Amino acid sequence: MSKYIFVTGGVVSSVGKGITVASIGNILKSRQIAVSAQKLDPYLNVDPGTMSPYQHGEVFVTQDGAETDLDLGNYERFIDINLTAESSVTSGQIYSAVIAKERRGDFLGGTIQVVPHVTTEIKERFKRLAEKSKAEVVIIEVGGTVGDIEGQPFLEAIRQMRNDVGRDNVLYVHVTLLPHLNSTQEVKTKPTQHSVNELRRIGIQPDIIVCRSDYPISEGIRDKISLFCDVERRAVIPLPTVSTIYEVPLVLEEEGLGQLIVDKLGLGPHQSDLKQWQELVNLIKTPREPVNIALVGKYVELKDAYFSVREALQHAVLYHGRDIALNWAPSEALETNGDYSVLRSAQGIIVPGGFGIRGIEGMIKAATYARENKIPYLGLCLGMQVMVIEFARYVLGSNKPNSTEFDANTPYPVIDFLPDQRGKVAKGGTMRLGNYPCQLVDGSHAAIAYGQSLVYERHRHRYEFNNEYREQLEKAGMVLSGLSPDGRLVEVCELADHPWMVSSQFHPEFTSRPGRPNPLFRDFIGVAKDILREGAQPPLPLSPPD
């Protein structure tokens, strides 16, 4: 039977609860303990798929096609596992399931209530993940902070779990913030005491308190939290702000959290091995020469909207022993004032995923710039559609080619719904989602990058390359280097007469891992790093030429 670690948050949100969960997974996995993770999101949306990235950042997609919170991406990257739809639970899903059962007559005659019906449904989700993943330890993050109205049923459910599976099989971890007062130069514990009180009020006594702070936490502060919150002294774990999120597992291990969890859950003797992770962090902290990359997108004001893209770039530059200088270019600005300064210094250009017409013409301009100036280009989903539109405009000598997403009446719909997709109008759950196979063409940049001919990557889009234009674009120099095995769908395209202009209909960023960058990102940076741009100096020879 699986054991459960429930992680709640106190005081304020955005203190790194997700990274803490991912890091706990990492330090347990480094002891050869099989783990899985789950995120509980208290909002009423069924999934974040229809939410604007401005609300919750990137929508992460699992291999089986669930549209989830970006925290799942961190779990996958830190624990190095592939999660499934069972790892993402929202109040919307829970209530829909309970109401569907009520309509079907499953509770005939009963009054349907939050306790027990909603909480039972929530607990079912815990057990479902435990059974499916066969993990020894399932780590479950309760989204939001203790005290939120929507979060109450989740907290009640995790409280009940202690009796359901036995107190030796359950651990409660509370992640809080210790604010610092400049006037008195003090780190304060009172908000933590309050949030622990709030937890106790509903019957949960935390076993471990992880204390986030921008300032060092003294022994005295630890004693105080231990005393007032009634947790063991060694169970007060300081987690000061670190320069890279990848350092968090090392900090937690150093503070003894791994051993503490093993002891408390009775997991038996285990040796921790964080050597590779330590090497990765050492490399991140070593000064490296940056590669200048421009990211041209419409959500650039909120960096979290491209979380996995940013991480994949980080993995790729580390592979090449380089750093990243990522310049965010709002595509709308490129459209209106034609300011190309970011592009002029870029050694590579990325156009990431997105929806809707805003900023599209600016992205097309960026693609023209990359094609004409032979700057490495990586298109991710929408970025591929933009590359196809741009190339079609060039080939046809017209500015009319478009996607029917942006111009329903274009005479040249190079990106369109497939004929069998027409008629699907709902916005939720009508996309091509999750893993699909892709056959790569021998000798193409994509095939060279992956080093194999059949790959699986994750999708999230409605529109597709329109097959009517294949022949024309291929003749003009576009290589359709990745196709679905039945040949019907174009999954990767690239330009023949260009050093590296490659785009995929899928999102390669979701499968990139620290130490194992996604091949397209890796090769994109591999080519970009050697491109010389405006203002850059060629490296000086170490010895004078003879």
Structural contact between residues 479 and 493, judged by C-beta atoms closer than 8 angstroms: yes
- By DSSP bridging, strand 348-351 and strand 290-297 are parallel
From the list 211, 381, 438, 493, the catalytic residue is 381
The answer to whether 509 contacts ligand GLN (rule: CB under 6 A) is no
The answer to whether 319 contacts ligand GLN (rule: CB under 6 A) is no
472 beta partners = none
Which residue in 366, 350, 368, 362 sits closest to 313, CA to CA? 350
Cis bond before residue 116 (omega within 30° of 0):
yes
For the question of residue 247 being annotated catalytic, the response is no
For the question of residue 381 being annotated catalytic, the response is yes
The answer to whether 461 contacts ligand GLN (rule: CB under 6 A) is yes
What angle in degrees, to the nearest 10, is found between the helix axes of 382-396 and 360-373? 70
The answer to whether 364 contacts ligand GLN (rule: CB under 6 A) is no
Q: Which two tokens stand for residue 67?
A: 């549209």
What angle in degrees, to the nearest 10, is found between the helix axes of 307-319 and 71-79? 30
Please identify which residue in the block is written with the tokens 């791994």: 258
The answer to whether 381 contacts ligand GLN (rule: CB under 6 A) is yes
The distance of closest approach from Cβ of residue 503 to ligand GLN in the complex, given in angstroms and rounded to an integer, is: 11
The answer to whether 77 contacts ligand GLN (rule: CB under 6 A) is no
The answer to whether 354 contacts ligand GLN (rule: CB under 6 A) is yes
Which of the stretches 26-34, 293-301, 334-342, 459-467 binds ligand GLN when contact is defined by CB under 6 A?
459-467
Q: Which is nearer to ligand GLN, 168 or 468 (CB)?
A: 468
The answer to whether 462 contacts ligand GLN (rule: CB under 6 A) is yes
Which residues contact residue 450 at a Cβ distance below 8 angstroms, ignoring those fewer than 6 apart? 440, 519, 520
Please identify which residue in the block is written with the tokens 């993995």: 315
Which of the stretches 144-152, 185-193, 261-269, 377-385 binds ligand GLN when contact is defined by CB under 6 A?
377-385
Which residues contact residue 502 at a Cβ distance below 8 angstroms, ignoring those fewer than 6 apart? 377, 378, 379, 445, 446, 449, 481, 492, 493, 494, 520, 523, 524
The answer to whether 510 contacts ligand GLN (rule: CB under 6 A) is no
Q: Which two tokens stand for residue 544?
A: 């004078």
The answer to whether 382 contacts ligand GLN (rule: CB under 6 A) is yes
Q: How far apart are CA 139 and CA 120, in angstroms?
A: 18
Q: Which is nearer to ligand GLN, 125 or 507 (CB)?
A: 507
The answer to whether 59 contacts ligand GLN (rule: CB under 6 A) is no
Q: Which is nearer to ligand GLN, 356 or 485 (CB)?
A: 356
Q: Which is nearer to ligand GLN, 142 or 305 (CB)?
A: 305
The answer to whether 288 contacts ligand GLN (rule: CB under 6 A) is no
Q: Which is nearer to ligand GLN, 172 or 412 (CB)?
A: 412
Among 299, 306, 463, 510, binds ligand GLN (CB under 6 A): 463
Q: Any alpha helices (H) in 208-274, and if so which ranges? A: 219-229, 248-254, 257-265
Q: How far apart are CA 293 and CA 304, in angstroms?
A: 17
Q: Any alpha helices (H) in 80-118, and if so which ranges? A: 91-104
Q: Which is nearer to ligand GLN, 33 or 480 (CB)?
A: 480
The answer to whether 60 contacts ligand GLN (rule: CB under 6 A) is no
Q: How far apart are CA 474 and CA 494, in angstroms?
A: 10
Q: How far apart are CA 494 and CA 498, in angstroms?
A: 8
Burial class (CB in 10 A: 0-12, 13-18, 19+), 488: exposed
Q: Which two tokens stand for residue 269?
A: 């003797």
Among 405, 416, 491, 494, binds ligand GLN (CB under 6 A): 405
For the question of residue 468 being annotated catalytic, the response is no
In the complex, residue closest to ligand GLN by CB? 353
From the list 315, 459, 461, 507, the catalytic residue is 507
| Residue type, position 120, single letter | T
Q: Which two tokens stand for residue 140?
A: 């479950």
The distance of closest approach from Cβ of residue 508 to ligand GLN in the complex, given in angstroms and rounded to an integer, is: 12
Query: How many residues line the site for ligand GLN (CB under 6 A)?
Result: 11
Which of the stretches 161-169, 185-193, 231-239, 381-389 binds ligand GLN when contact is defined by CB under 6 A?
381-389
> Could you list the residues that contact ligand GLN (CB under 6 A)?
353-355, 381-382, 385, 405, 460-463
Catalytically annotated residues: 381, 507, 509
